[in-house]
Amino acid sequence: MANDLFQPTRLGALTLPNRIVMAPLTRSRTGSRGIPGAMNAEYYRQRATAGLIIAEATQVSPQGQGYAYTPGIHAPEQVAGWRQVTDAVRQAGGRMVLQLWHVGRISHESLQPGGALPVAPSAIRPEGQAFTEAGFQPHPTPRALETDEISGIVEDFRRAAENAKQAGFDGVEIHAANGYLIDQFLRDKTNRRTDRYGGSIENRTRFLLEVTEAVTRAFGADRTGVRISPASPANDIADSDPQPLFGHVAAALGRFGLAYLHVVEGATGGPRDIIPFDFVALKRAFGGPYLANNGYDKALAEAALRDGRADAIAFGRPFIANPDLVDRLRIGAPLNEPDRATLYGGDAKGYTDYPVLARAAE
């Protein structure tokens, strides 16, 4: 069947041997300097049978960090660390892109250079807590970015894309989802600006499009994806009218000729029907390869592919506990359950020690 989950497909310049994509998963295991190492290389190598691996969200600058022990792609030693990872994945026959990330207001002074306040489109404090090296701490009220600062953040994304290329990635994904900085510009709950980046849908979309233009210039449009989450309330985000907003976003992104649009359908990690939203219309507005995400199992994935509602399916948490997820889905084997206590931070326990089928049968 042409749209079978286990058949090859293309996302831009990327040729995938199957349509099972490993979604980006923050695991907070790169130390305080954000440098990937041998343990991270082994983790991703184990999962190289995925049609495509989207590496965990990776900050484009020191200012872009919002959680302890997450990786960066702005320093030479981070580039070298990621090269160790991409080499391991490539030697195992895999393909890998890097998700480029700036968290905006979802941070804490202790994670920011010089103890500065996190930045955002507007000075509106988010509900929730930041995961810091001292444990969970409430998010502070961020500082609103000055208009003339925004071009510098666009340049951070461009430079990060260049660094990702040097690190051996096959492409990059722009993180415009889940209530982080780009999403904060898009949504009217978090963007109260009165300059050219605020107010109308066109103005609120401007930052995303500037980042996309810069990143595609650095790595090529056919090796760049964008992730959005139109219906998700993650990180205290919302919009008063998301359908026209994200319809405009999808159509504008479609003009770039991107590798794919990666869409979290519903609440991130939660219910798919949290608010009414027409994802089929979103796919149509984009016009290119559509990567569907959120709560998919094998049956839902196959139905989405068969009905033309997606071109590939991203699986998140199932990949944490099942490095051989592709094989398990192929033969209908039961899935390991992730150990919630080891999801974030720590060592190899709950990271690289989950059993694969051959060992599970012993």
Are the CB atoms for 260 and 172 separated by under 8 Å?
A: no
Amino acid (1-letter code) at residue 291 = L
Write 274-278 long-range contacts (CB < 8 A, 24+): 274/231, 274/232, 274/233, 275/231, 275/242, 277/230, 277/231, 277/242, 277/243, 278/243
Between CA 239 and CA 236 the distance in angstroms is 11
Residue 358: partners with Cβ closer than 8 Å, 6 or more residues away: none
DSSP state of 72: B
Tell me which H or E stretch contains 175: strand 171-175
User: CB of 129 within 8 A of CB of 137?
Assistant: yes
Q: Which of 43, 67, 69, 180 is catalytic?
A: 180
Query: What would the DSSP string read from start to end of 110-160?
Result: GGSGGGPPPEESS--PPSSEEEETTEEEEPPPPEEPPGGGHHHHHHHHHHH
CA 69 to chain centre: 17
168: region left, alpha or beta (phi > 0 left; psi from -120 to 50 alpha)? left
**For this structure, is 180 an active site residue?**
yes
What is the C-alpha to C-alpha distance for residues 261 and 310, in angstroms, rounded to an integer? 10
Q: Which residues contact 200 (CB under 8 A, 6 or more apart)?
A: none
Question: Annotated catalytic sites, by residue?
Answer: 180
